[in-house]
Chain A
Amino acid sequence: MSTVILLVVTGFGLGALYFLIASGLSLIFGLMDVLNFAHGAFLAIGAYGTWWAANFLPGAGPDGLGFLLAVTFGVAAGTLAATLVELCVIRPLYGRHREQILATVGLSLAVPALIQAVWGADPLTFPKPELVSGTVSLLDVHIPRDRFLLILAAVAVFTVLWLFNSRTRYGLIVRAGVQDRAMVTALGIDVRRSFTLVFAIGGAAAALAGSLGGLYFGVVTPTQGLSLLVFAFIVVVIGGTTSLTGCAIASVAVGLIQQFANYYTVAGLGDIAVVIVLALVLLTRQGGLTSKKSAERVA
């Protein structure tokens, strides 16, 4: 029983990490029809930004409020990078899917290479604040504290995105834009501004995933974003490309499947199990788990 509890909590923790990455991907694809392969780069920028700030930024540090400041710095760096990418790279390429893919794939390779050129390819030890170090005992199970932080962060991001979508005018524009972007512009709304905002929000969530992923893995590497991005894409496809709720459900499902399959079968089989689930979803529900619930999309 204790093993099951441990696997469930760690599965939720991993799912939370996937959600932080996939929610931004889902928003960007849903509204902007952009397959953003550069999303992993925002994650890497967030992770390295946090690491750099914790070590070198005055006022920031590896613990307490200093670490909070470091995470804020990393998230801000990721948000800024996402905004610049949207304005300078994506905006001139709207509607040109092939060029978008080429450009974002190029960025997904260039950014890790740049990071590697500056800080090297070796993993860097990520700072771990005392508050999230060690384990918590729950029903005689010792669960790493950082998993709870990840889950809390994912819940917070889900809530913020849900409020953004359901309570703000920009959210209204996003939900309408997912259905008919041209009609939104025909109402006199500059959708491009919403695009930039959505891209920035997606970048912020990915950068936060980078910061918290550093806690989860204990290290950061230049290619961490790339490997996590693969699972984030799987989550988006399984959950439905325009549904935040579907994205959350799929994130948890993928995290749990990976953890259980890896533990009860052979290490590494978890990844294969996730791909099998993806294939089953594609064969049976091409629009993802929430494909028939159009009213709930991006909500």
Chain B
Amino acid sequence: MSAAGPLLNAADLHVWIEGSHILQGVSFAVPDRGVTALLGRNGVGKTTTVKALLGLVPRTGRVDFGDVETTALPTHAIVTMGIGYVPEDRGVFSALTVAENLRLAERRPGKPRYELVHELFPELRERADQPAGTLSGGQQQMLAIGRALLNDNRLLIVDEPTKGLAPRIVGEVADAVARAAEQVPVLLVEQNLSLVRRVAERVVVLDAGRVIHTGPALALLDDPDRVRELLGVSRAAATTAGKATAPSSTGTTMTASTPDTTPASGATGTAGPDTPASEAEGRRTA
């Protein structure tokens, strides 16, 4: 934590979707520098947490960004306070061209940082007139990240940027996230533990709609047993995560195959009796 206090603070966030209690009192802070990784198995509420922070889903609780409480603000007002958002599904507008996607993200006042975006992703300049729907998955991810970097934001929220990408592209995206993190604090939702190891300084682990662990990233990733316990990955994968030095889309990725919701010992919270939250999100929002 910085001496000035967290950049973003979420307190006791609850989200209900179609009767299911998806977030059950999520509380955590994002400091004003470095990368904070939000971890957890599929369906535990990571994406819903991000959407709750941005006001994209109805929620109760409290969210502060800087010294402003944003709980009652609409999404656009929260974002214009200085948040760049890269959603899980990339959120590119397929019928618009690459240039139009970027132009849409321009925020006034302020000078859009096209030089930075084109330096990071030269392909976006070359494909400026191409409809975004015809880009590959990796190119769409570059566009989504480039769009978030276009403005001079105070925080980037990046939701699973390497999901579904080829290993070669994962490296490029990881480079972009690392580069972005040099300039702006990042809240990174990620299942690729190698990427988390490379870029994240802190981790927040969710399970069944609750925060079950917070702390330094390496302290968790260097402990395979703890990784296995909190994130439900196999022991081999957990060990690999502890040793891996380069991001990879295989091996260290938390998988959705873990059927149970293992309560974490020593956690700051445990799954409540209406644990179907994780299942419900898996069906609806994950």
**Which A residues are closer than 8 A to B by beta carbons?**
169, 172-173, 175-176, 178-180, 182-191, 294-295, 297, 299
Contacts and interface: CB of A to CB of B under 8 A. Distances in A.
B61 interface: no
A296 to B, nearest CB: 8
Contacts of A188: 76, 79-80, 105, 107, 151
B87 A183 contact: yes
B104 A187 contact: yes
B107 A295 contact: no
Nearest to A186: B85
B210 interface: no
Nearest to A297: B95
A120 B203 CA distance: 72
A162 to B, nearest CB: 15
Contacts, number: 66
Given A178-B95, A186-B76, A187-B85, 13 more contacts: A172-B104, A173-B104, A175-B96, A176-B104, A183-B87, A185-B74, A186-B79, A187-B79, A188-B80, A189-B76, A191-B76, A294-B95, A295-B94
Contacts of A176: 93, 96, 104
The secondary structure that dominates the B interface is mixed
A163 B273 CA distance: 56
B58 to A, nearest CB: 11
B283 to A, nearest CB: 19
Contact of A186 (B75, B131, B151): B75
Closest 5 CB pairs of A and B: A188-B79, A183-B91, A188-B80, A185-B75, A176-B93
A189 B91 CA distance: 14
Interface in B56-114: 56, 74-77, 79-80, 85, 87, 91, 93-96, 100, 103-105, 107
Interface residues of B, number: 24
A180 B131 contact: no
A299 B107 CA distance: 24
B272 interface: no
The secondary structure that dominates the A interface is helix
Given A172-B100, A294-B133, A183 B93 contact: yes
A173 B54 CA distance: 19
A186 B104 CA distance: 11
A91 to B, nearest CB: 12
B46 interface: no
Centre residue among B79, B95, B151 by max chain A CB count within 10 A: B95
B93 A175 contact: yes
B162 to A, nearest CB: 20
Contact of B76 (A178, A179, A190, A294): A190
A186 B107 CA distance: 12
Nearest to A293: B95
A297 B147 CA distance: 23
Centre residue among A188, A295, A299 by max chain B CB count within 10 A: A188
Given A182-B56, A294-B133, A189 B104 contact: yes
B95 A295 contact: yes
A172 B94 contact: no
A186 B103 CA distance: 14
Nearest to B151: A188
B108 to A, nearest CB: 10
A297 to B, nearest CB: 6
A180 B104 contact: no
Nearest to B93: A176
Contacts of B104: 172-173, 176, 184, 187, 189
A294 B76 CA distance: 26
Nearest to B81: A188
Centre residue among B56, B79, B87, B93 by max chain A CB count within 10 A: B93
Contacts of B91: 180, 183, 186
